Structure 1
């Protein structure tokens, strides 16, 4: 009797599982081409983002290329102690946080302002020209951007430096000026990336229901009132999403740009964690310490994303999930 009850229960359970799987199977069959298009993206993230995470084990070893990852000696948390006890680490962390916060504070609002101004342009030909001009620098590498900056600010041959010397009789060297280095990073980042950021906000603006503006006009609301009550709330979620993503990468600070612009005169204010890792990991071949820093950054970034997402939901935003 027990056996019969067991068989009945097993049959009932199997039927329940089949009933739950049938809608999934129908969905897979109905949307098979959409799921097929997802495969390359999933494979990309699996191969280049998830599989390499196994290399984090190097952070807890004295990695030697000859012995390999598994053959290298375990050191526990010694690599982390080496990083945090380094006399350069407090300055590196301070520079990284300052530059990242400056980017968030001063380079997010211009993206939104440019999008709002473009959204108010009624002449489509002029709007396309402005978009092309502002979006074009995004495709330039930081090497090319530095070449342009050097042509203006080079101490001996730069256009601005030469003009200043002819007007005042004094030489200036802005590329090696510690007080000007961080503003230079912000200015070049603003010039290069504002157009791209504006396109993201323009996409959000285009999704706002036009009937809301029509109703506002009927109620007598002017352009500023429409902007405050319709436009800005319409892009709030996108702004919060981009803010959360930037907060999660606050310990990156833009390695490519800083590495190219950095020189010995401005190391005190411009050297960040990533440039130090580059020198320690690739130039000195100390992969264990470099991996420990990367692991530390990932943990901090993960915590910051969770915290920012929770705060965004608490204050009425949608967050990431």
Structure 2
């Protein structure tokens, strides 16, 4: 397959997975985006320019995650490899549980979709399968690609990258109530997904698994039609408590907010805390640390009270649900 253009622009949202009980299945796209310009070069050179999150920390060569995902997608459709120049404007925090790696993988696949002559060869089903193969799980990749609230599932184990076999993975978009107003509370430190997964047990009690199934089903109802049930629906027994040792400050904040009636959870593998807040009538200012005003939520006072005016490097980011998901355009240049 040939390339149809040499320049594409990609925009991919941050995501939060699990949302409490929806472990490795539920995810939501948030209004914070990485933006990239990708140019195919007539040489074999690879150049990656990064500003914002990850600048000076992430690779700027072939090992950059966007480059790796783009090349995997080109290989999948039989398109020629090429030199690349990436200009990355990153806003999604790295190592904070807001889907930065999924954003990079989806961005690379969408860039390939925009470059090739037949974009349908990398439709959403193929893109999700490729992203899952590279990521290992579809919970962040699905909302990054599709936008909104998603539930993702796999019919079998996920094949490894380079195996030539795509995983049998699917995702569906779910309804989101108009009053939902997520607030991400981002700590100054980061934590690798590997470290966060490393403390999880290989088995959990049957009673906990049964309890979790009920809360996960309730969460779908709460997010879509009954936001008054969010506090009960975001209970978890499978992963958060096991992770307390590696993110004590985050779990202490979750405890403090839930004690104040806020549906707070660990975002993905953490250590960001996500408050699944609800909009309240206009006229109130935002929580401490936001800077600009934002639509008031029922979590604002509880967040301010939990911190007592001392943010200690934490950032409070009101982030609307992103309905669009990842996009790719061909600039007119």
Please indicate the TM-score interval, normalised by the length of the shorter structure: under 0.3
Structure 2-normalised TM-score? 0.24
Larger radius of gyration: 1
Choose between structure 1 and 2: higher strand proportion. Answer: 2
Structure 1-normalised TM-score? 0.25
Choose between structure 1 and 2: higher helix proportion. Answer: 1
